[in-house]
Amino acid sequence: MLQTVIKLLLSSGIIVIVSEIAKKNTFIGGLIASIPLVSVMAMVWLYIDTKDIENINALSKSILWMVVPSLALFISLPVLLKSGVNFYISMGISILVTMGCYWLTIAALTKFGIKL
């Protein structure tokens, strides 16, 4: 239980730090946010919990395949915002677009026999 609380505090703390830095400098905030901290933390926590290198390897490969469709959010959101669409509506549409891209990627990988 203590380990779960530590994971929660460290993980949420990084989000708070990035958002606070972004208030002062969006470039630095974006730079820090672009570092795959969530992926790194997930792999570290998974290793600490399981010591299973094959599981870490599989997670790493799955993350790699999902990076490309995740870019849809960062493409669609600024386009919608620049077009004058409300922030929350833009975020919702961007999330839906990203979900669609995830679905298409998973379907394509499955079709080509790539196991996730």
Query: Mean pLDDT over all residues of the chain?
Result: 92
In a domain, 96, yes or no: yes
Question: How many Å apart are CA 10 and CA 79, to the nearest integer?
Answer: 33
- Domain residue limits at 78: 53-116
Of 41, 18, 103, the C-alpha closest to 66 is: 103
Task: Render pLDDT for 30-67 as a digit per residue (tens, 0 to 9).
Answer: 888 888 888 898 899 899 999 999 999 999 999 999 99
In a domain, 23, yes or no: no
In a domain, 31, yes or no: no
Task: Render pLDDT for 84-100 as a digit per residue (tens, 0 to 9).
Answer: 999 999 999 999 999 99
Greater confidence (27 vs 71) lies with: 71
**How confident is the model at residue 53, as a pLDDT?**
97
Domains in the chain, number: 1
In a domain, 7, yes or no: no
